[in-house]
Amino acid sequence: MSETTVMGFHYTLKDKSGTVIDSSVGGQPLVVMLGRGHIVPGLDQALPDLGVGDQKNIVLSPDEAYGPANDELRLKVRKDQFPPDAQLKVGDQFQTQPEPGAPVFTVMKIENDEIFIDGNHPLAGVELHFDIEVTEKRPATEEELAHGHAHAGGSCGHDH
């Protein structure tokens, strides 16, 4: 693919057991510039072969999606390592560093003064099943290339 392609598609994302994780059906399709890291690698590689109107089920291994779960990112910490006024509950998410891209940790379990946290992406280690329907396929516009992302309808409509 010599030119940068923009793809628009509806998707339903399920896990291996068929539980729906996310879906764009009934809303706006997802519009992305391929090859820019905006979607998981396996999906990015599978989409260029599809055309407008195509429907496909794409199954991705964890290595093609969010990677395997890393046990080193599952930690047990003492409650006193959090601010004294922290009202922690299971499912809470936080970053330990203010930098963009710093890992996001999720509180998985609380036992007395021990907090079990996980810094893996929630879908790390999960086989992903995408039901895809392509709604748009076109070359990226000059504006999209300059901005580094796709614009619905090819027009940005916002300042950068």
Q: What confidence score (pLDDT) does residue 62 get?
A: 97
* pLDDT, tens digit (0-9, with 9 covering 90-100), for 83-120: 888 889 999 998 888 888 788 899 999 999 999 999 99
The answer to whether the predicted template modeling score (pTM) of the entire model surpasses 0.85 is no
Residue 1 has pLDDT above 50, yes or no: no
* pLDDT, tens digit (0-9, with 9 covering 90-100), for 47-71: 999 999 999 999 999 999 999 999 9
Answer yes or no: are the C-beta atoms of 9 and 47 closer than 8 Å: yes
Return residue ranges of the chain for CATH 2.40.10.330.
71-118
Return residue ranges of the chain for CATH 3.10.50.40.
5-66+124-154
Distance CA 43, CA 46 (A): 5
* pLDDT, tens digit (0-9, with 9 covering 90-100), for 21-51: 999 999 999 999 999 999 999 999 999 999 9
57's tokens = 């089920």
CATH of domain 5-66+124-154: 3.10.50.40
* pLDDT, tens digit (0-9, with 9 covering 90-100), for 112-148: 999 999 999 999 999 999 999 999 999 999 999 999 9
Give 82-87's long-range contacts (Cβ < 8 A, gap of 24+).
Answer: 82/115
Write the Ramachandran bin of 91: left for phi over 0, alpha for psi from -120 to 50, otherwise beta. Answer: left
Class of domain 71-118: mainly beta
